[in-house]
Structure 1
């Protein structure tokens, strides 16, 4: 109860300040009857950083390098990295040491123009130029701190500077795909390097499992305090900074409600990262007046290739069968795009506009044969064909188009018509109404021409997948958060996905990793050198996001298994789909009870999954039940373990 009262008091204080109509240069004061904000614990430091992702880690390092004697990072999950735990960590930069070693000529100006073009010319050119300038030094810093020793993906000539086909291509190769040394703990080299450096800084403290709730102005109108809740102890903690607060809480790709507020089918998008990316940091800053341009909130780039691996969660998993003659249809059985377009943004937008943002890749055994013959079958062979492949269970097989339509719950007449029209276009050659060519010219996106016909028909459902969002609060070139009237909110800085309007409508390759790292560094440097203004009046923004958008719908709670059932002693094994492959779990029943749970095989991301992998099997055995709570911060892994053990119990109960 104390936690709830404390947070409510903080919110009331913000509302009270908003109600005080005072001149801009008059210090805001709290009403005498205003409840005093209390906390279980109070902590202070030169710099308070909210979020331990790429922006937060780089900000902490720079703050120390700029003279900070103490830095506290407040992190809501149980690990560092944020979205870096869900990406391979491709980086980009122009005029870098890597290009120099590869003998590749590039210019910063070319990089700027490519980003502007890729973002549909809706980006902030001033901040893009700032990024491109700072990016060179940041890559050099990473290089000097270990990146030079990492293994890189290379092109045919052995260059570490490559093109990234998952995004719109740059005009020159300037993307760098470096692998971490410790692949079990990290997914990106950048995360590994930043994490290692931060771990060696004695004056940087990270408070994990602690969620920031409310920013608080002082009597000078400076935003230097934040009220947070530790989700393990339920304690309220008031953090106060001497010099400033940097909000680096990430975007809202994990919040389907919020995406649905700004995109027609956004609520159906799959999250390619953590549910912790809920966008609450944006609202938290709006509560003290931060400006949010609502148009930028609609900038939610997607990948038209999301495989749903758990409810609402997906991973990039294209079949690429359309390269050899397959087609994509919506849930009504209709084609909606030239599947072979090299411009990925057009395919992204086309899928976003379909009902529930879902497509079905339709293909045949002949198409698979030609895909393999052309050497374009890597994703199919790795993800879908093997029984232990991540997407194998999602492949729908039939002996006819009509049967396939029935299994997909799709109008059979419409799907048959779509296939008939497509086959006729293939036979006629030339170009169809969507612009797809059937003249046989081989390209990277069109390796064979085939009709939809064969002995076996297949379908794979894929959805629009989101790994980052581009909307958020407005900042200036010093990463200071701006109020709706354009004035600086004293003491408040932001970096990373929580900021909006920088990149434009679409993201450019590598900026999702390097953007937060660069701007986090810049924010800390400016904070340490800047002077705190006074006299700001904190009041909620006029377009404050509805708090209901951040309340997660509680799933209907039912017991997984009736533990009163008689269980036969023995060892039982079960397999479920995991993060990057199958998870196999062995459950031992002795004297009719669960005596041991052992995870035989797993391919989870250690940084996220470790707490569940280490503690949940023991908890299940100790409580002799699968009706236990999931581990906070590792919900997906927890549910996989519980699902597998439940399967074992069902075997033992037969």
Structure 2
């Protein structure tokens, strides 16, 4: 580590113990680590997991940039940093697979004034995107961050396209008045295209992704973050860095943390991957970063409860409706997620079905995955579907007839104006859904340079953050499709920012 350390320390819980316990000096840490043979031992396993005996020893753990988390934000940051001149970058991922929650991203990526919108004759404006994002978050989002995200969304779409990740199938999500949710050409879930594409781009650049490496500490020197400690097979290993980017994701798989911030949600199922345990929040907090809006944990209205599978918002955006146990619609399906979820919870027995026809099925490739899991009920008619899901056939037929009229121009009693279609004769489908924990909208406070900020708004030297681990962008409700926009815009941005600061 360059420079003369005056107050170097390792911040966190695994080494320091409980919060508030004395921190070890760098000298003390390395002395104890030496007893374990830390220096010169094998580093973390690469992307294709091998046994410890197969791993090459890591003799030099000095990096320009260390990125914590191999989800969409972390991978994008690594690629952008490399392309901006940072050759010595490493991504540390605690799970055995890459992608994090991005693997589960389904609807798409919102972006405005994109080349694909223009090619398809879709009129949109970035000002409208900004306003609808702020409105959707009940004006609790940071306007500067929201503006930056929206203004750079089209550029991020172009950047992804240049990596071979083409998102040119454009749909609509709740809270948006324009088609701006960009999906893969075949209409499949965006994560299934985004993650492999980013991993491949990282591999092409020779960027190491070290799996099964859980970062437990941030190393500091005179208040600056200068590295991390990662746990590999119970062996603490130091990675020195000129900049550390936290892209560790959310907390949806940590019941204790959910109960801490939102005790009313402690019994809800979660759509999150197992590694979403809030590590990044605690790491950042230990070195003085401010956490904002942590009580703003979003629940998604359409989650299959037995498997915790997300039923993509794009399905409703393509025309699906929600009906209760009486076979009746009860709310505008294209409203914001918080309002739709609340309406579902108010239904008799909480039973709700997402109902759609063959047109919607064909437009959403993600349905086939749900079907393979046995989660989709199918029938050859509306009456047949009603019998299969246990609702009154006459009521469901009347509901669909009224909805068809809305698609034909009639006023909807629930105010729906977006994504309406006339259901076609033939096969009908239904998936039973209810709300589930989906996204932590709060997190580390950042600025448009992705610098982690303390309570006074001052940047913590050497520490940056991107993705779900950050807070303030989505306010009190996140619009579907904005998470992928967030991770791509700010992931790309933080990579370029750190490159401008660490490249000589």
- TM bucket, shorter chain: 0.7 to 0.9
The partner residue of 1:141 within 149, 159, 163 is 159
What displacement does 1:60 show? Answer: 0.8
Q: Given the alignment of the two structures, is residue 163 of structure 1 paired with residue 155 of structure 2, yes or no? A: no
Structure 1 residues 210, 443: closer, same or farther in 2, change over 3 A?
Answer: closer
Question: Matched residue of 1:9: which SS?
Answer: coil
In structure 2, what is the Cα distance between the partners aligned to 1:383 and 1:525? 37
Q: Is the 8 A contact 1:53 1:248 kept in 2?
A: yes
Question: Matched residue of 1:270: which SS?
Answer: coil
In structure 2, what is the Cα distance between the partners aligned to 1:315 and 1:105? 30
In structure 2, what is the Cα distance between the partners aligned to 1:514 and 1:275? 23
Q: Deviations over 1:147-170 (max 9, x none)?
A: 3xx5853xxxxxxxx3324x3223
In structure 1, what is the Cα distance between the partners aligned to 2:199 and 2:186? 12
Q: Is the 8 A contact 2:67 2:246 kept in 1?
A: yes
Question: Matched residue of 2:231: which SS?
Answer: strand
Q: Given the alignment of the two structures, is residue 191 of structure 1 paired with residue 195 of structure 2, yes or no? A: yes
In structure 1, what is the Cα distance between the partners aligned to 2:67 and 2:131? 32
The partner residue of 1:359 within 342, 350, 364 is 350
What displacement does 1:249 show? Answer: 0.3
Q: Deviations over 1:273-312 (max 9, x none)?
A: 302111121011111111112xx222222222211234xx
What displacement does 1:503 show? Answer: 1.6
Q: Is the 8 A contact 1:145 1:193 kept in 2?
A: yes
In structure 2, what is the Cα distance between the partners aligned to 1:470 and 1:139? 23
Q: Is the 8 A contact 1:14 1:287 kept in 2?
A: no
Question: Matched residue of 2:146: which SS?
Answer: helix
In structure 2, what is the Cα distance between the partners aligned to 1:105 and 1:460? 33
- The structure with the largest alpha-carbon Rg is 1
What displacement does 1:260 show? Answer: 3.0
Q: Deviations over 1:427-469 (max 9, x none)?
A: xx9xxxxxx9779x99966979xxxxxxxxxx98633123322
Question: Matched residue of 1:309: which SS?
Answer: coil
Q: Is the 8 A contact 2:13 2:19 kept in 1?
A: no
Q: Is the 8 A contact 1:351 1:464 kept in 2?
A: no
In structure 2, what is the Cα distance between the partners aligned to 1:325 and 1:104? 24
The partner residue of 2:303 within 306, 309, 313 is 306
In structure 1, what is the Cα distance between the partners aligned to 2:463 and 2:213? 19
In structure 2, what is the Cα distance between the partners aligned to 1:515 and 1:345? 17
Q: Deviations over 1:526-566 (max 9, x none)?
A: 2233389xxxxxxxxxxxxxxxxxxxxxxxxxxxxxxxxxx
Question: Matched residue of 2:488: which SS?
Answer: helix
The partner residue of 1:499 within 470, 484, 487 is 470
Structure 1 residues 56, 389: closer, same or farther in 2, change over 3 A?
Answer: closer
Q: Provide the residue aligned with 1:263 in structure 2.
A: 262
In structure 2, what is the Cα distance between the partners aligned to 1:463 and 1:69? 46
Normalised TM-score (structure 1): 0.57
Q: Note the residue ranges of structure 2 that are not aligned, 5 or more in a row.
A: 1-11, 40-60, 380-387, 403-410, 424-429
Q: Provide the residue aligned with 1:471 in structure 2.
A: 442
In structure 1, what is the Cα distance between the partners aligned to 2:19 and 2:297? 33
Q: Is the 8 A contact 1:85 1:187 kept in 2?
A: yes
Structural mapping, 1:180-259, within 5 Å = 187-202=191-206, 204-218=207-221, 220-230=222-232, 233-241=233-241, 243-259=242-258
In structure 1, what is the Cα distance between the partners aligned to 2:501 and 2:149? 20
Q: Given the alignment of the two structures, is residue 348 of structure 1 paired with residue 340 of structure 2, yes or no? A: yes
Q: Provide the residue aligned with 1:273 in structure 2.
A: 272
What displacement does 1:326 show? Answer: 7.8
Q: Provide the residue aligned with 2:119 in structure 1.
A: 101
Structure 1 residues 443, 55: closer, same or farther in 2, change over 3 A?
Answer: closer
Number of residue-to-residue matches in the alignment: 438
The partner residue of 1:132 within 125, 150, 155 is 150
Q: Note the residue ranges of structure 1 that are not aligned, 5 or more in a row.
A: 1-5, 18-28, 154-161, 396-403, 409-414, 430-435, 449-458, 533-654
Q: Provide the residue aligned with 1:622 in structure 2.
A: none
Q: Is the 8 A contact 2:330 2:343 kept in 1?
A: no
In structure 2, what is the Cα distance between the partners aligned to 1:278 and 1:352? 27
Q: Deviations over 1:332-372 (max 9, x none)?
A: x9x9x9344542435434158669x9821379xxxx9xx76
Question: Matched residue of 1:530: which SS?
Answer: helix
Q: Which has the higher contact order (CA 8 A, sep 6+)?
A: 2
Question: Matched residue of 1:61: which SS?
Answer: helix
Question: Matched residue of 1:268: which SS?
Answer: coil
Moved more, 43-52 or 65-74: 65-74
Q: Is the 8 A contact 2:450 2:494 kept in 1?
A: yes
In structure 2, what is the Cα distance between the partners aligned to 1:133 and 1:348? 28
Q: Provide the residue aligned with 2:374 in structure 1.
A: 390
In structure 2, what is the Cα distance between the partners aligned to 1:113 and 1:325? 26
Q: Provide the residue aligned with 1:638 in structure 2.
A: none
Q: Is the 8 A contact 1:494 1:523 kept in 2?
A: yes
In structure 1, what is the Cα distance between the partners aligned to 2:351 and 2:141? 33
The partner residue of 1:85 within 103, 111, 123 is 103
In structure 1, what is the Cα distance between the partners aligned to 2:168 and 2:116? 11
Structure 1 residues 213, 358: closer, same or farther in 2, change over 3 A?
Answer: farther
What displacement does 1:512 show? Answer: 1.0
Structural mapping, 1:165-180, within 5 Å = 165=173, 167-170=174-177, 172-179=178-185
What displacement does 1:179 show? Answer: 4.9
Q: Is the 8 A contact 2:377 2:431 kept in 1?
A: no
Q: Provide the residue aligned with 2:330 in structure 1.
A: 338
Normalised TM-score (structure 2): 0.72
